[in-house]
Structure 1
Amino acid sequence: MGILKYTQYLYLLIAAAFIFDGVTKLNSPGENPWLSFIIAGVSVFMFFFRRKYAKKFDDHYKKQ
């Protein structure tokens, strides 16, 4: 269970990479940056989702 605490931060790293990709596509003509921003948004959502459930599972195991 120890490594699962750190894998949630991988989603933030992915989101930062796709935000950077979206900004670079936004500045170049003829490119469509919206898919990169959508993927970044989903990655941020998954970070908070995994963080919430990791805390829930930790609290459950502490009660036992």
Structure 2
Amino acid sequence: MIKILRYTEYLYLAVAVLSIYKIVELWPINPKETYIFIFFAVVSIAMFFFRRNYRKRFEKRKRQNQD
């Protein structure tokens, strides 16, 4: 299960990278369309760090229970 949590972390980073790419691509054409991509990028980066912290706590608790 921990491997699945690790993969979801990187999915959030992938969404952030794609959103940032779309922001750079659309900003000169229509800046108002990029606001949704800015939102996605910020939320996905925040979710990456949240899920990473959650996974590390989960691993720590699992190690403590095994000892």
- The question of a shared fold, defined as TM-score above 0.5 by the shorter chain, is answered with yes
Structure 1 equivalent of residue 6 of structure 2: 5
Question: Structure 1 length as normaliser, TM-score?
Answer: 0.89
Question: Structure 2 length as normaliser, TM-score?
Answer: 0.85
- Between Structure 1 and Structure 2, the one with more helix by share is 2
Q: Which runs of 4+ in 1 moved over 4 A?
A: none
Structure 2 equivalent of residue 37 of structure 1: 38
Q: What number of residue pairs does the alignment pair up?
A: 64
The yes-or-no answer on 1:17 pairing with 2:18 is yes
The yes-or-no answer on 1:51 pairing with 2:52 is yes
Q: What's the C-alpha RMSD, in Å, of the aligned pairs? A: 1.4
Counterpart-to-counterpart distance in 2, 1:46 and 1:53:
10
Unmatched segments (≥5 aa) in structure 1:
none
Unmatched segments (≥5 aa) in structure 2:
none
